[in-house]
Amino acid sequence: MQTEMILISYWDLAILSLLVMLMGIVLWLHGFSHVGQYYWANIRTVAQLSLMGVWLSWVFNADNPLWVALVGLIMLLAAGYEIAKRQQYRFARYRSVLSPWDTAPKSR
């Protein structure tokens, strides 16, 4: 099975940006009061994804599997920490990040 990378041109990004701006205008015309937050969230999303794209392209071009594995492990632990932090029932912090089997709430 051969897969090809989907290439996104600058024109594709420009069209998508125009669609996002058009959606904001439509929301504003329909009385949505949080259009400023909508635009700010979109700007933050573009900035964060751009930085992650630059970072990951640097990591994967390093040609060192240990470096890639280390960065993957750090990102996995950071994601697990953020997920554990947002739970309604607090768990033992490091156990919940490190063990996927020990994340169910215990009966008191």
Kindly report, residue by residue over 17-69, the tens digit of the pLDDT: 899 999 999 999 999 889 889 899 989 988 998 898 888 888 888 888 898 88
Q: What are the CA-CA distances from residue 26 to residues 21, 32, 50, 60 (Å)? A: 9, 9, 26, 40
Residue 59 CA to residue 27 CA, distance in Å, equals 39
Residue 108 CA to residue 90 CA, distance in Å, equals 13
pLDDT by residue (tens digit) across 87-98? 766 655 556 556
Element (H, E) at 93: helix 93-98
Comparing C-alpha atoms, which of 95, 96, 101, 99 is closest to residue 86? Answer: 96
